[in-house]
Amino acid sequence: MDKPLSASAQRVQDALAELGFNLQVIELPASTRTALEAAQAVGCQVGQIVKSLVFRALRSDRPILVVASGINRVNESVITRQIGEPLGKADASFVRERTGFVIGGVPPVGHLESLETFIDQDLMQYSQVWAAAGTPNAVFELTPENLIRMTGGKLVKIT
């Protein structure tokens, strides 16, 4: 029998099931904390890793989620324009308090509150991608189309 998932990874597995997705969270012995490590651990291109980056909308004090290809750097002015208010960095405690997950394991779904989400259009070129699943060792594989459906996010050119 498979080893049980850690509590945070199980929360992501449960969230996926609740959203109606039959996708499998896996916990790996190797670190998946960074996009590069995750790509090495699962054996895919770094571009196929879904980075779930939390920013802070400064006027409304809301967390904003940007899901980006592992090779891309987010142009914050693109997101500022989308949300119509200034954007700041989220520090580790803001990320943990508002999403329920630690940096390095933030998943695209299953957060404490629902987050306004923007999706990097560059992810759409891949047939399969991999996202973090609640811990720096947990990931799941999905299609970019399912990433859009499960997050309700808006596709944007984030670079």
Which of these segments, 19-27, 45-53, 120-128, 143-151, binds ligand 5CA (CB under 6 A)? 45-53
The answer to whether residue 99 forms part of the interface with ligand 5CA (CB under 6 A) is no
Which of these segments, 1-9, 28-36, 114-122, 150-158, binds ligand 5CA (CB under 6 A)? 28-36
Which residue of 9, 16, 26, 38 would you call a contact of ligand 5CA, by CB under 6 A? 38
Helix (H) or strand (E) segment spanning residue 65: strand 62-69
Asked if 90 and 97 touch (Cβ cutoff 8 Å), the reply is no
Provide CB contacts within 8 A for 64, sequence distance 6+. 54, 55, 56, 57, 79, 83, 87, 115, 116, 117, 118
Judged by beta carbon, residue 1 or residue 151, the one nearer ligand 5CA is: 151
Neighbours of 70 (CB within 10 A): 22
Residues that bind ligand 5CA (CB under 6 A): 32-35, 38, 49-53, 90-92, 103-106, 131-132, 136
